[in-house]
Structure 1
Amino acid sequence: MSISTADRLAIHELLALHGHLSDIGAFERFGEVFTDDAVYDLTAYGAGVVTGRDALRDMALQLGDANPLGHHVSNIIVSPATADTVETLAKGLAVNADGTTGSVTYEDTVVRTAAGWRISHRRVVPRRKPLTP
């Protein structure tokens, strides 16, 4: 299965847009990134699973200043599953107000909708220690 170069570019921009919207607090624009019924899995952080774009927005608003100052997304891999669904892996780096940083892997299911590509499922996996051979 393959997708067009234009679709790949749109998916890369979609993943980047989440960080930009989060960093400026434009959570009301999450409709540009997530499906209405998006599942956001924060189990690895002890926060469980947030279901629905509005619930995700509400959680971000509730965090307030505890949100990272900067979300940086890189190393994006797009693996088509069907003509309208892809699985993506991306690395995330968060910069916090106290100067600490955190590294995660985003495991996403991205679907083609009438409005364009949107994330329908995201699992956030923190990287807490280096590999030890």
Structure 2
Amino acid sequence: MPLALEDRLVALEDRLAVIELVSLHGHFVDDGSLDRLEELFTADAVYDLTDFGQEPLSGVAAIREAAWALGAANPVAHHVTNVVVTAYEDGRAQVRSKGLGVKADGSCGSVSYEDTVVRTADGWRISYRRLSPRRTPLGGMTEPG
């Protein structure tokens, strides 16, 4: 159960480290530095692509292999925005962010990221990431609810 707002504030140093962690994903992928994914994810991380009709990927090796398998279909640029960090009592933090992917042909797609990050001996790492495509305005709402 989430804590009250005053109990879930994240220390500035941790907040900045988590935001940088989430931001580095795009740099590593866009640069082809997939050998550095261990700097972003725990060894047993789950990369949930269920909303794209795919099975979740388990482990850094599976995440890396999936990126290599996409090859030229990968976006040429990943942009992360609107990063919001909240902490929970078990030492994990939840992170919501938006992502834009620009393809080589100039087309663009948008996703929402829902991450669980954990503090490890090597710093913050993503242990769970869920991607949800953004395909309809207003979250699919058509009238006030």
Short-chain TM bin: over 0.9
1-side partners of 2:27 and 2:49: how far apart? 20
1:67-95 residue CA offsets vs partner (Å, 9 max, x unmatched): 10110001000010126210010000110
Alignment equivalent of 1:101, drawn from 101, 108, 120: 108
* TM-score, normalisation: structure 2: 0.88
1:29 aligns with 2:29: no
1:16 and 2:6 aligned: no
Match of 2:64 in 1: 57
**Residue of structure 2 equivalent to 1:44:** 51
> Which blocks of at least 5 consecutive residues in structure 2 are unaligned?
1-7
Q: CA RMSD of the aligned region, Å?
A: 1.0
> Runs (4+) of structure 1 moved beyond 6 Å?
none
TM-score in terms of structure 1 length? 0.96
Letter in 1 for 2:69: Q
Question: Quick one: distance in 2 between partners of 1:128 and 1:3?
Answer: 31
**Aligned partners of 1:2 and 1:83 also within 8 Å:** no
Q: Which amino acid aligns with 1:51?
A: S
Q: Find the aligned partners of 2:62 and 2:98 in 1 and give their Cα distance.
A: 24
Q: In structure 2, what is the Cα distance between the partners aligned to 1:120 and 1:44?
A: 18
Q: Percentage identity across aligned positions?
A: 53
- Report if the CA contact (8 A) 1:3-1:83 is conserved: no
Q: Which runs of 5+ in 1 are unaligned?
A: none
C-alpha distance in structure 1 between counterparts of 2:89 and 2:83, whole Å: 18
1:70 aligned residue (71, 77, 92):
77
Name the amino acid aligned to 1:15: V
Instruction: Kindly indicate which of the two structures has a greater share of residues assigned to strand.
Output: 1
Rg: which structure is higher? 2
Contact 1:40 / 1:51 at 8 angstroms: preserved in 2?
yes
> What is aligned with 1:81?
88
